[in-house]
Amino acid sequence: MMTEIDINPELDLVLERVVDVPRDLIWTAWTDADQLKQWFVPKPWGVADCRIDVRPGGEFTTVMRSPEGEEFPSSGCFLEVIENERLVFTSALLPGFRPTAKASNDHELPFTAFILLEAEGTGTRYRAIAVHGEAESKKTHEDMGFHSGWGAALDQMVEMIESER
């Protein structure tokens, strides 16, 4: 049985869009490191490195690179992996489900992301939900540009998929 998602508007952020690409190609874009590097971060930022071990407890690490070349690594792990349907990962646990150190928690934003894919016509209903532990984290994430950032990344993903078809 899949985890029910109990969205709390005080704590969570939701991006929902219907895009005209099939969900198996979106799944690959999320789970193939070479593909993810191409779209995951809105330009002119980019992804310097990416490690994806797509199974519960497996590593999900990305290193974002600023236009000036500064790198920002972020490491987490996958929680649920249901091909073409649901990908869940968190920044609150390191690979192997290890809790993050408290010291690092002060600088990072702990959240769990649900990526949910449903077939809709020839396309896909795409939902990205960021689940936080407190309103402050939600606000920080929102102020960092959750909606525009995840939306622009999705645009880049669709563009990548369409350019390869």
Binding site for a copy of itself (CB under 8 A): 1, 3-6, 11, 55-58, 79-80, 88, 90-94, 96-103, 105-106, 110-112, 131-134, 137
Cβ-defined contacts of 70-75 (< 8 Å, 24+): 73/49, 74/108
Q: How far is the CB of 88 from a copy of itself (least distance, A)?
A: 6
- Smaller CB distance to a copy of itself: residue 18 or 133? 133
Q: How far is the CB of 98 from a copy of itself (least distance, A)?
A: 5
Q: How far is the CB of 26 from a copy of itself (least distance, A)?
A: 21
- Smaller CB distance to a copy of itself: residue 38 or 91? 91
Cα–Cα nearest to 89, from 69, 74, 104 = 74
- Smaller CB distance to a copy of itself: residue 94 or 158? 94
- Smaller CB distance to a copy of itself: residue 5 or 64? 5
Burial (CB < 10 A; 0-12, 13-18, 19+), residue 70, is exposed
Q: Where are the beta strands (DSSP E) in 5-55?
A: 12-19, 46-52
> How far is 64 from 151, CA to CA, in rounded Å?
17
